[in-house]
Amino acid sequence: MVNQLSYFKESASQTAGPYVHIGLAPHAAGFDIFEKNFSNVLAGPDTKGERIRIEGRVIDGSGTPLRDVLLEIWQANAAGKYNHPADRQKKPIDETFRGWGRACSDFETGVWAFETVKPGVVTGRKGRPMAPHVNLWIVARGINIGLNTRMYFSDEEKANAADPVLNLIEWEVRRKTLIGKREERGGKIAYKFDIHLQGPEETVFFDV
């Protein structure tokens, strides 16, 4: 016998199931139970930065959009600072911006959306800058463990080309699955980001 390591084992993941909305987004699912609700709107009226909408679908292996998926995003503010005590970069926190939101896909079309601001550059490992990105986490019926991915911005070509995480993806052709496409709609900026769970366009998911 040797000394025993005393680490605890992480609890096993289980699918969020078909009714995840009543638990995590009851208000969005038309169920009024909590006074205060989390939402897909991250930016308040006083939040600094370029207002953007991030919009997309999550598509299964048959090409069908999931209509029961739930997504969360986590991102830095416009200055590239996370609203969190572990972020010790010398950049200002925006008190009006937590940087986190949660959205359900539309029950008919499968489209989900976040209203936020475009994040700034965050310093990554070994001091290397990471191109602006939002972190996404995807759960649904049939997904046994939450999927982690990132969305980068199509108008940040230069920063994307130098991004340490995008460059970690051996297959250059797969890097484009992480790029949200900038569109202008009536003066408003939207980034389209479809997530493919399978197939030739399968999105890159990370083991974080």
Residues 72-101 binding other proteins (CB under 8 A) are 72, 74, 76, 82-87, 89, 98-100
Position 109 contacts other proteins (CB under 8 A): no
For residue 41, the 8-state DSSP code is B
List the one residue from 53, 181, 182, 205 that touches other proteins (CB under 8 A): 205
Report the alpha-carbon distance of residue 64 to residue 184 in Å, rounded: 26
Which one among 43, 52, 54, 66 touches other proteins, defined by CB under 8 A? 66
The least CB distance from residue 126 to other proteins, in Å, is: 6
* 172 sits near other proteins (criterion: CB under 8 A): no
Kindly identify the residues of this chain, within the stretch 36-55, that bind other proteins according to CB under 8 A.
Answer: 36
Q: Can you tell me the distance from the alpha carbon of 57 to that of 203, in angstroms, rounded to the nearest whole number? A: 12
Query: Can residue 197 be called a binding residue for other proteins (CB under 8 A)?
Result: yes
| Cβ atoms 45, 101 nearer than 8 A | no
Q: Minimum CB separation from other proteins for residue 48, in Å?
A: 19
Binding characters for other proteins, 177-196, by CB under 8 A (x = yes): --------------------
Question: For residue 199, which amino acid is it?
Answer: G
Candidates 106, 155, 194, 202; binder of other proteins (CB under 8 A) is: 202
Question: Interaction with other proteins in 121-160: which residues (CB under 8 A)?
Answer: 122-126, 130, 133, 135, 137, 139-148, 150
**114 and 53 Cβ atoms separated by less than 8 Å:** yes
Q: Which is nearer to other proteins, 20 or 190 (CB)?
A: 20
Structure tokens at 3: 């000394």
Interatomic CA distance for residues 73 and 133, integer angstroms: 10
Q: Provide the minimum distance between the beta carbon of 40 and other proteins in the complex, in angstroms, as a whole number.
A: 14
Site residue total, other proteins (CB under 8 A) = 83
d(CA 43, CA 40): 9
Which pair of tokens denotes residue 7?
Answer: 């680490």
To other proteins, the closest distance from the beta carbon of 186 in angstroms equals: 31
Residue 22: exposure state from Cβ atoms within 10 A (0-12, 13-18, ≥19): exposed
Contact 49, 78 (CB under 8 A): yes
